[in-house]
């Protein structure tokens, strides 16, 4: 692994998150001895603080236990986009989970935006909250069809999605998904204001207090290095759960690291938040700051511990930023780390079906401002005994039986240039192998009215028997009335279910 001295590259700006640099450090007391509350919350980030705030508003006593200082962990290093647009996700969710659960995901994240704004307005919180459009753009022609598919999928779920052909970015793009009326803010200003509403009336925030374990059932006992908290319920709102057994969540979660630059540029930055649809991911947004608008550029993501030289990742991100803008200065750089669930959906709810009073929220996949807020709403409702319409999609105990999916061992031998429709139970998948051996697995539901297409071996097309729509072997439209291509359908590997 090379280091900065060996490459000759000097890290630009301060090694500090802008959010931490521009807010005073909190100073809540350590836990001293033993206490009892209704709900113990481990972790003082977006989930923990929002959950505590909502629970206190409902008349529930809470204790937030934070190992360091609140909003100084993952939440203090976010890019702080408040959006239901989580890159290209909705087409995949519909195919993977069905329309019902995809709609739960969409609605919960849209509601999170509205809830944050309601709190900001109702409590008069000065946190730079502003509505902005959010864009996912195709940086290459190869991604253009995925953009069109995502627009259709998102709109079908009731999301404010539109196709945008021309973006105000200083490089060529090939279409984008635009979500209207999304938002951004200063996350620490927001959470520090919420924390001031939590303290008092039997509610507590304890900093520099590390949770060591969770025991018991009624009451739940949280052991810390400073004392013990007894509670009727406990929420693990930590980055990665400190207790993930039973359930063995560690098998379903991994971690990813990204690099962030805070910079000033000569150009005026366009109105919006932007992210590309390809690898490596590049994300851009602006933030009002002293000395002019700060531009936050994010990218160079990789699995934690497997990325090689961090200096090299910063250098590549800086080179990209300087290739598209006249950079006046780079004032900040920082790393951010995110928990990635294996199926792309966060885990929110009871640790296991038998964990009646133990809850968790994790795996936000780099979109923690909305999914973290949605998690707080879901967990608060559940603890209060209220029905919540979004619990199913996020259930940490979710699983799919093997029989519901085509797995690779079920695929017949498909020669290059051939396609076939495979059925297993009620599940169907259209499969094509190109001349280079690459396998295309598609949802065979025609995008016009949902009829199942069949393989035309003479023309090497997928043809709809209902209204005559036709698609090429890769699922792209070649004849109307359909106007969008067949959706990709993930073929599950057998070992995922062993």
**CA pair distance 472, 479, nearest whole angstrom:** 9
Report strand pairing: 161-164 vs 204-206: unpaired
pLDDT digits (tens, 9 = 90+) for 289-303: 988 999 999 999 888
Residue 422 has pLDDT above 90, yes or no: no
Contacts of 296 (CB under 8 A, 6+ apart): 18, 79, 260, 261, 262, 283, 284, 285, 286, 287
Flag whether 175 is in a domain: no
407 vs 327, higher pLDDT:
327
Mean pLDDT of 46-55: 98
Residue 427 has pLDDT above 90, yes or no: no
- Rounded to the nearest 10 degrees, what angle do helices 144-156 and 99-122 cross at? 80
323 vs 476, higher pLDDT:
323
Please, which pLDDT band fits residue 235 given cuts at 50, 70 and 90? Answer: very high
Percent of residues, the chain, with pLDDT higher than 90: 71
Flag whether 469 is in a domain: yes
Please, which pLDDT band fits residue 165 given cuts at 50, 70 and 90? Answer: very high
Contacts of 326 (CB under 8 A, 6+ apart): 265, 266, 267
pLDDT at res. 401? 37
Flag whether 464 is in a domain: yes
Question: What range defines the domain where residue 469 resides?
Answer: 403-493
Average per-residue pLDDT in the chain? 90
pLDDT at res. 490? 67
- Judge contact between 464 and 451, C-beta under 8 A: yes
Count how many domains the chain has: 1
pLDDT at res. 111? 98
pLDDT at res. 30? 98
**CA pair distance 130, 117, nearest whole angstrom:** 9
What is the Cα gyration radius of the chain?
24
CATH number of the domain to which 466 belongs: 2.102.10.10
- Judge contact between 406 and 492, C-beta under 8 A: yes
Flag whether 20 is in a domain: no
- Judge contact between 30 and 226, C-beta under 8 A: yes
pLDDT at res. 459? 80
pTM of the complete model:
0.80
Flag whether 419 is in a domain: yes
**CA pair distance 269, 136, nearest whole angstrom:** 16
**CA pair distance 61, 75, nearest whole angstrom:** 24
Flag whether 439 is in a domain: yes
Flag whether 326 is in a domain: no
Residue 356 per-residue DSSP state: T
**CA pair distance 83, 106, nearest whole angstrom:** 10
Please, which pLDDT band fits residue 479 given cuts at 50, 70 and 90? Answer: confident
pLDDT at res. 268? 95
Residue 107 has pLDDT above 50, yes or no: yes
Flag whether 432 is in a domain: yes
């Amino acid at each position: 692994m090379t280091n900065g001295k060996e490459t000759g590259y000097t890290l630009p700006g301060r090694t500090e998150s802008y959010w931490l640099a521009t807010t005073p450090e909190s100073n809540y007391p350590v836990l001293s001895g033993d206490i009892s509350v209704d709900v113990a919350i481990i972790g003082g980030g977006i989930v923990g603080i929002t959950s505590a705030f909502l629970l206190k508003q409902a008349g529930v006593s809470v204790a937030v236990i934070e190992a360091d200082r609140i909003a100084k962990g993952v939440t203090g290093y976010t890019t702080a986009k408040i959006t239901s647009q989580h890159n290209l996700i909705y087409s995949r969710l519909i195919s993977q989970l069905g329309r019902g659960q995809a709609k739960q995901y969409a609605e919960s994240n849209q509601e999170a935006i509205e809830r944050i704004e309601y709190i900001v307005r109702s409590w008069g919180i000065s946190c730079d909250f502003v509505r902005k459009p959010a864009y996912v753009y195709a940086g290459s022609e190869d991604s253009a069809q995925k953009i069109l598919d995502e627009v259709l999928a998102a709109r079908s779920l009731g999301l404010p999605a539109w196709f945008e052909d021309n973006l105000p970015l200083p490089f060529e793009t090939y279409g984008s998904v635009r979500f209207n009326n999304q938002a951004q803010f200063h996350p620490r200003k927001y959470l520090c204001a919420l924390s001031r509403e939590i303290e008092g009336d039997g509610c507590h925030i304890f900093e520099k207090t590390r949770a060591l374990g969770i025991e018991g059932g009624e009451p739940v006992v949280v052991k810390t290095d400073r004392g013990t908290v007894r509670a009727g319920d406990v929420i693990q709102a930590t980055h990665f759960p400190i207790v993930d057994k039973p359930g063995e969540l560690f098998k379903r979660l991994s971690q990813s690291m990204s690099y962030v630059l805070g910079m000033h540029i000569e150009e005026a930055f366009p109105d919006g938040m932007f992210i590309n649809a390809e690898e490596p991911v590049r994300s851009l947004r602006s933030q009002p700051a002293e000395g002019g608008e700060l531009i936050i550029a994010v990218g160079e993501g990789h699995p934690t511990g497997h990325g090689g030289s961090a200096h090299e990742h910063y250098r590549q991100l800086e080179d990209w930023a300087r290739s598209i803008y006249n950079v006046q200065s780079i004032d900040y750089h920082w790393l951010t780390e995110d928990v990635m669930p294996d199926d792309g959906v966060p885990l929110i709810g009871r640790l296991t079906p038998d964990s009646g009073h133990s809850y968790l929220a994790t795996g936000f996949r780099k979109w923690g401002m909305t999914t973290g807020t949605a998690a707080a709403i879901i967990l608060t409702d559940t603890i209060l005994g209220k029905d919540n319409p979004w619990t199913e999609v996020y259930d940490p105990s979710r699983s799919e039986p093997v029989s519901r999916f085509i797995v690779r061992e079920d695929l017949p031998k498909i020669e290059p240039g051939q396609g076939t429709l495979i059925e297993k139970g009620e599940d169907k998948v259209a499969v094509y192998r190109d001349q280079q051996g690459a396998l295309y697995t598609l949802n065979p539901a025609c995008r016009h009215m949902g009829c199942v297409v069949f393989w035309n071996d003479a023309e090497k097309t997928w043809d709809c028997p209902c209204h005559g729509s036709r698609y090429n072997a890769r699922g792209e439209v070649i004849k109307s009335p359909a106007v969008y291509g067949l959706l990709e359908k993930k073929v599950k590997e057998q070992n995922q279910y062993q």
